[in-house]
Structure formats: C-alpha cells, structure tokens
Structure 1
Amino acid sequence: MPFLGQDWRSPGWSWIKTEDGWKRFEFDGDEFERDSNFNLQLINVDNQEMYTENCEYSVEKTQKEEYNNTTRTQYFYKEKWIYVHKESTKERHGYCTLGEAFNRLDFSSAIQDIRRFNYVVRLLQLIAKSELTSLSGAAQKNYFNILEKIVAKVLEDQHNPRIIRELLEDLSSTLCILIGRFVLVGNMNTWINRLENILLWQQQLMNLHIKQEFGTGLTLSDLPLHMQNNILCRFSDAWDIINLGQLTPTLRVLTEDPHLWKKLCKYHFKEKMLCHLIVSESGHIDWKLMFFALQKYYPKKEQYADTLQFCRHCSILFWKDFQLALLFKDSGHPCTANDPGSCFVPISPQHFIDLFRF
C-alpha cells in the first residue's frame, strides 16, 4: 500500500539509503574529526550550490512577478467566449461570476473596434455605478487597465470625449463614497492613487482641444442654412446639438430654433407621449425643455453596432466575428446546435450584468 501521508523520513534530517532501507544520518564526533576536512569541504560545496540555486530561483521568481504585474494583466485576456454556468454540476464546480467574465472576455481588443467601443464604455459605466465592489481584485485591476487604454485612445484620436468624461465622473463619485466606507478590496493607498489618476484623466479631457483640419473642402458653416438645419435634425444626441451651438453665433441661432426641437420631439417620441406639454412664459410650447423632459421619462433604446452574443443552446457568451462568420461559417464559439443562428441573442450592457446576478 503506498504511503499517502507526510514523508516518513521526517524532512529536516539527513537520510542515507542502505541495504536495510533508509536510515537517519547522524554525525559522530570521531568520524567527524577523522573526515573533518572532507566533510567540511563537501558541506561547503553543497551549501554553495544550494545558495547559487536559491539565488537563481529568487531572480527568476522576481522576474516572473514583474512580468505578471506589468504585462500579463494587460494582454493576457484574449478569449472570445466563456461558458456561463450558474450552479455546480458534475462537470463544473461553482458558478461564473461577473469578475471572471470581465477578466476572460477580450475587452482590451474590443475597445479598438469602433463598433464595440461605445458598448464597452457603457458596460464600464454601469459597473462603476453599482457593481465595482462585486469584482475580484484581479478584475478590478483589469478594469482600470482597460480604462487607461480607453482614455489614451480618446486623447490620441479625439473621438467620444464626452461619454468618457461621464464615465470618469460616475467612477470618481463612486470611489469617493466607497473609500469613505472602507469596503474596497486591496490596499487603500492603491485606491487613492487610482482616484488621483481619474482626476488627472478628467483634467486632461477637459483641456482637450479638437484639432481643426484645414483643407479645400466645404465645412458645415459653408452650407446653406436649410441644409445645416436638416443635418441637425438627424443628430441622435441632443447634447451634441447644444455643444455644436457653442461654436458660432449662426449655429447657436439654429440650435435654439423651436421648429428644430419640435421635429426632434415628433421624430423620437410617439404622439401619445406628447400629452404633457411644457408652456413657456409667453404662452408658447417650449419644445426644447419638452424634449429633455420626454427623454427623462421615456429613455431611448440603446443601440450598438456590435454587442456580445449569448447562445441559449450552449449557455455561452461570446464576441461574434462577422468576417469569419461569412467566410468560414464560424459562429464564434463551438456551438452544437443544428441551426446556431437561431439560438443567438444580443446582450445589452445591463443584460450582461444581470446574467451574473444569482
């Protein structure tokens, strides 16, 4: 019967193998005096080799820890799909958490895709508002690594600075509350440094100046007023219209036009939603205030160019590569359904979080 417990030879003693089995080696005084030179030489050699091995191991361990802290946390997560299991089975023990899903799915590459950028930013914003404490320490570290990449990308290409400012504002407000309650995972000094980085990023985004490209082509101001008005009617975000009105006096007059906001109200909302009219002091309907009031009571449906997909047949959450799907009929994960396309459901950022609430 094999021995399953601790080593019976008692680690810490020196043992030698004899014909009768293993015996503990004990130094005898006479023997030690007779072979003192040989023994001391042998011990010194062994200690030197052991010391050299320990030094090499320490250097290797330090290099490995440094690699994990600097490189692996930023570029290790490259999986395109994960299995979402909510209970223990014979095949799998435990359940999939929000932090595990956030770590394993490839969000670092997703922010480089213009179709997935807004989706990832909205997910980070929802996590910052209510789910930050539910993430593990590794997931929180990955969260801030991705956030740092997003800020660097916005500062470089100068796209979508407003939504990143909103994300940082929500995150800083949450951290100020959580730091005061001492409920965060890890060293408090680390969280204070992260909060300082967020404040620094906010300052950099506030000081961001959009570079104007001078060329021979037409600009928005060169177009006729009725064409500028038609362009403003097709903006999906009302705050973009208000920000655009701060550029020139002509655009300000166009963005304050009541007919523009009336068109926006009737385009984005149904007739039955227009029952609560907001009347100004002059007795006219204030369509601008009415638009923001309707937007508050009837928030618009979130639309994204590309989202995470969930396979109801396999219970797998994955990024779908549409190019591979067209060329090789690859569904994005090892699906076993006869008709994989009928099992896919797009997952919104809020639905992504709800998947991991048990």
Structure 2
Amino acid sequence: MKETNRDEIWQNIEGEVPYGVRVNPELNQLLAALADILDGKKVMVLFREDMPRDDDWQPIPLLPLTWFQVPKVLRKTRSLSYWAQMASHLVRPMKTIWLGTDISSRKLRWIDRLMGYHLHHASQWIDVSEIDIQGFSFPSQSSAFGFQEWKVNVGRLFMELCKEIHFRGGIVLNYAEVELSGEGVILYDLVTGAKKLIKSQIIAHGGTVTRPEVDLGLPPWSGFFMRVPFHDDFLELIDREGKLKASMILSKDYDILVDAVQNLLGTDVHEARLDNRQAYGLEVLGEPPLKKLQSFRLMAAPNVDGSPVEDIMETAFDISKQTGVSFQEFRDLYYRYGTAMDNLTEEAYQLMNQTREYSFIWEKVIQDYCEKYEWKIRNQV
C-alpha cells in the first residue's frame, strides 16, 4: 500500500541530516528505532515492499529460560496486563499447558516466585484426562501443568510502532531501498524511481518479518512443542533450536491425524477431530523425533484472521446497536475471539427474537464461544 502523503514524506527527507536507517526491520530493530527517536535521534524505517498490516498473533514464551530473549519493552509483566486492558488488539492472554515434563512441584513454585507471581501465579498441576479440546484426549498418567501467558499481535504492533515513529518526526516509507555510496547512502524510491543522497549513522537490514516468533524466544525445556492453531489448521513439532521436525498437512483420511500424534508423541489418542475440520496427513521433515518426548507445548488459539479490523467496524456498530452491547465491549470481544465468533453473533440475533435481555444474550454468546474454543482445565485430584 503506497502512502497517500508519500511525496510530502520524500520532500521532508533532509540530505545533510544523519539518519539511523533500518531496512525491513525485525521487531527488536523497530523497538530500537523507537528508542532512538525518543532520544532525539533521526530515524528512517524502510520496507522494500509493504509493511506488515495483517493480524499476526504470536505467543511470548515467558518462562525464565526465554525471558531475556524477549524485547525489554515487553518484559514488564504489569505492562502486559495494562496493555491487555487498554489495547486488546495488541495483547491478550493465552492458556498454555505443558505435558510430560520433568518439572517438580518445587521447581514449579520456584518459577512462580521468580516471575513475581505476575505470570505464573495461575500455575496448577492438572489431570490431563479432564482437558476437553474438541474431543482431543490424552492418557491420564501423563503429568502436566497449565498456566496463562500472553500473545502479542505482532502485525498490529508493527503498525503501531511505525505510526509512533512517524508521528514523532521519523521517516517511514514503503517500497524503498538504500545503497551505500562513499560516506553517504543513496535512497531509492521504488515507486517513482527517484533517488536522494543522505547521510547515515547506521544501516541495519532485517531478515524476514513473517517469522517474528523467532525473535520472541524459543520453548525452554528440552524436547519439542506442538502448536495447534485453529485459524491455520495445521499441527507442527519444533525442536528447541527452532528446527521444524514434522508438520501436518491436509488429508481426507481422519485416521492419519490420530496415527501421527501417536507416532510423534507416543500417546494414545481416543479421538482427534479438531473442531470437526478436515483431518491431516503427516509430512516428516528429516529424521522423525523420538516417540517418547520429554515435553511439548500444546497451544490452541482461536481464529483471528479474516478481514482487517477497520472492515469490521460497521458490523460492530450494527451489532452493538441491535444487541444493546456497547461498541467498546464488542471491539474487545472481537479482538479476542476474531472471526470465530461470526456464527455466535448470528445466534445473538436469533436470541433477540426471544428476549430483549441484552446482557443475557451477550453472556450466552461468550459462554458458547468459551465452550467451543477454550480449555476446561480443572485441578488434579
């Protein structure tokens, strides 16, 4: 997407002013650019194509071994709670369960204490036979504990950081490139073909912005973690170095998923139809992992893809008007649940024909959603 004020931005670039230039920045580099501009330095952020604009929810591993890999701005746990309240389109809580780990009760309490009781105060040993994820069952002898951590909408966070840099006088441009030239830098406008010689203090080239979770840390303990996002319809196992060991691909055979989970995890799966969607085939990349894994993480995330947030505002106002739910409440609910609540809002309309108790309608919608997409975790007896 080309900026509407692109010509104005281009004209405001001062050739004699030294800039700190970052091309296709990763999240950490973008945070560093914001820190520089807050210190009064000149900053230029360039994207060779369009900057990330889509919703891209990524988990932040907040256990001790990965905590220091997390950008400093995200390490303040109370800030995360504050952001979750004030900017639910950027931060939201996520339930995580660790299965088959060798963590003792003492170590779990130590983790809670180390994290200041802000993140893992909800840690609890659980009976995995009580976990209900669309009929996905695990053997009762498996040890496990669950807790709440956080997810960050990296795509939206990129946009917010870029807007903040722009509002504070920084240069943010899509479709631009730079080339070193003596003591300066040649800036190319890939849209018009124009070029300009500028001074530069630093030039940082980022990698790809499509895998930001690499910058946010890797799973702590040895073994693998398993992700089962609802919105992507895939399952993958990744080792501690971040190398993909196996992934699930679409298949017409429902039994393949059951066999794959059994082979990869060494567990008995009674039923493995996630949300009654298409089943999966197994694609093993390289050597398959051991059947008995020490640990893995199972994350179930609701659907947050679909239309950009701006495109659902009209619908939000309409539903707010029809159901009596405030726009703020609807916005918070939509940012949390995404397009997975489409059928639930339709149910809300049907309930309106039976009752005008708006609070009851909305509570029913949330309750039905939670039963469908969120885990039922109970304390182990």
Instruction: With the length of structure 1 as denominator, give the TM-score of the two structures.
Output: 0.20
Question: Higher RCO, 1 or 2 (CA under 8 Å, sep at least 6)?
Answer: 2
Name the structure with the higher strand share.
2
Asked which structure has the greater CA Rg, the reply is 1
